Amino acid sequence: MKKIIVLSALLPLICANNVFADGGVSDEASLMQAIAEANANPNIKKIRFEEDAHIVLNQPVVYSGTQDLVLVGHGATIDGASAGSFVLDQDLTAVTEDGTFVFNTAASITIKNLSVLNSATRGIVVNIPEDAVGGDQVVNLHKVVVRNSALYGLHIDDNRDEFDDGNFGSAIGLELNISKSSFTFNGIGALDFDGIRVDERGDGDIITTIRQSVISDNGGDGIELDEAGRGDVITTVIDTIIDRNGFYNAEDYDDGFDIDEGDEGSIWVNMIGVSAADNKDEGLDFDEAGAGSVNISVLDTEVSGSGDEGLKVDEADDGDINFALKNVESEENGDDGIQFTEQGAGQIFGSLTGVEAEDNAKYGVTIGQWIVEDEPAPAEAAGQVSASDVELSGNASGDIVKLNNVDLVQ
């Protein structure tokens, strides 16, 4: 009898933590009700969808609760073609606060097995409150599909400025984990909107892990991680396709994967088994300015058919470039196949192992460091790069590793 009494006492709590635990969300009305209840009741931490439900929205869904929330999609599809709108300002920049799914919270968000399609504005939006403190905002996406968004597919925003200028944001960082997901054909309604965009300002890092996913055919960058203020960008990408991005603006094409880190902080990149093919500007473009270094490891990766450089790494001001490339192919790109440039106080140290650079429009590999670009003589100690099993052929400017103030050890 005691066990039955205890179980009966727990049932209300179990039900409170799982909205629609029996039937699940099946249409716009039940989804809006579930979100409204989660906004009002911090004990609600999970929302379940009916299996393969197809939900057509007429307005954005906005979560503003303070508790961590899990959405279990069960293969449901949300169509956001009529959920929100945007306007174009004088320079054709799209302006909106809308998205199909908007999360105004510093709580952790987990979405599983859910598709967000045809968004009139942005697909999934996470807005970090300016006054957020404590642990990092965490977003987990597993088996999530975001396709055909007019603007961003996924936008995680920790920037007070509406147009992503300035360095003011919350005091927390951002952690994004994506697995077995796809972001395709987003950014097809206005200039400069990406498949995945993360803006971090103020204190805090951007930490991302992307595994077994597809980020392709987006009008802007496939992925853009933009960090300013004090903090690092730390990213791991494994077994992922980043192809055919950056086509929307023919006057200023975009990249496959773009990282911009400004002010105090470094870039840390670990890539294994990545394809970055046929992106309109650079395939992989990593830029660091201010006090900080770039540290990258790339293994078993192919970069090809980029409109500009295949793999480009720029470090400006104080800081080094440290890299290790192994079993990397860079072919048929519109500039150098692989390019490392360090300008300011700092050096380049790295290794090229089993690297192939073929049929690029300029050099296969260029590595150079300067205090001031084109200085008449080196003004700092030379960097050093080791090379083994490097194959260069068919590159228009020459089949050599082009160096400036860097010693090559073979």
Confidence band, pLDDT 50/70/90 cuts, at residue 12: very low
pLDDT in tens, 77-117: 999 999 999 998 877 788 899 999 999 999 999 999 999 99
Query: CA-based angle 285:175:298, to the nearest 5?
Result: 35
For 365-390, what is the mean pLDDT? 92
Q: What is the model's pLDDT at position 163?
A: 52
Considering only residues 226 and 131, tell me which one the structure prediction assigns the higher pLDDT. Answer: 226
Pairwise pLDDT comparison (380 vs 15), residue with the higher score: 380
Provide the token pair at 166. Answer: 């300035």
Cα–Cα distance for residue pair 130/159, rounded to 1 Å: 8
Q: What percent of the chain has pLDDT over 70?
A: 92
Per the model's pLDDT, the better-predicted residue between 132 and 236 turns out to be 236
What is the per-residue pLDDT across 106-146, written as a single tens digit (0 to 9) for each? 999 999 999 999 999 999 999 999 888 888 999 999 999 99
Contacts of residue 11, Cβ cutoff 8 Å, sequence gap at least 6:
none
Give the per-residue pLDDT at 390: 98
CA 239 remoteness from chain centre: 15
Classify strands 275-277 and 257-261 as parallel, antiparallel or unpaired.
Answer: unpaired
Query: Is residue 194 within 8 Å of residue 225, measured between CB atoms?
Result: no
CA distance 199 to 179: 20
- Please give the angle made by the CA atoms of 273, 277 and 279, to the nearest 5 degrees: 130
With 90 as the cut, is the pLDDT of residue 6 above it? no
Query: What span, in angstroms and rounded, lies between the C-alpha atoms of 132 and 364?
Result: 46
Residue 161 has pLDDT above 70, yes or no: no
pLDDT at 296 over 80: yes
Distance of CA 409 to the CA centre of its chain: 35
DSSP bridge partners of 343: 316, 370
Query: How far does the chain reach from its first CA to its final CA, in angstroms?
Result: 78
- Three-state secondary structure along the chain? CHHHHHHHHHHHHHHHCEECCCCCECCHHHHHHHHHHHHHCCCCCEEEECCCCEEECCCCEEECCCCCEEEEEEEEEEECCCCCCCEECCCCCEECCCCCEEEECCCCEEEEEEEEECCCCCCEEEECCCCCCCCCEEEEEEEEEEECCCCCCEEEEECCCCCCCCCCCCCCCEEEEEECCEEECCCCCCCCCCCEEEEECCCCCEEEEEECCEEECCCCCCEEEEECCCCCEEEEEECCECCCCCCCCCCCCCCCEEEEECCCCCEEEEEECCEEECCCCCCEEEEECCCCCEEEEEEEEEEECCCCCCEEEEEECCCCEEEEEEEEEEECCCCCCEEEEEECCCCEEEEEECCEEECCCCCCEEEEEECCCCCCCCCCCCEEEEEECCEEECCCCCCCEEEECEEEEC
- The answer to whether 153 and 146 are in contact (CB under 8 A) is yes
Is residue 96 within 8 A of residue 87, CB to CB? The reply is: yes
CA nearest neighbour of 170 among 141, 199, 197: 199
Tokens 């629609």, residue located: 20
Residue with tokens 């802007």: 220
Average pLDDT, the chain: 92
* Token output for 223: 């992925």
Please report, for residues 162, 165, 217, 237, 376, the alpha-carbon distance to residue 280 in angstroms, rounded to integers and kept in the order given.
27, 25, 10, 20, 34
Written as six digits, the tokens of 13 are 């709590």
> Across the strands, what pairs with 161?
none
| Beta carbons of 268 and 248 less than 8 angstroms apart | no
Give, in order, the Cα–Cα distances in Å from 180 to each of 124, 220, 276, 303: 17, 21, 17, 21
pTM: 0.93
Matching residue, tokens 């073609």 = 81
Query: CA angle, corner 277, sides to 275 and 282, nearest 5?
Result: 110
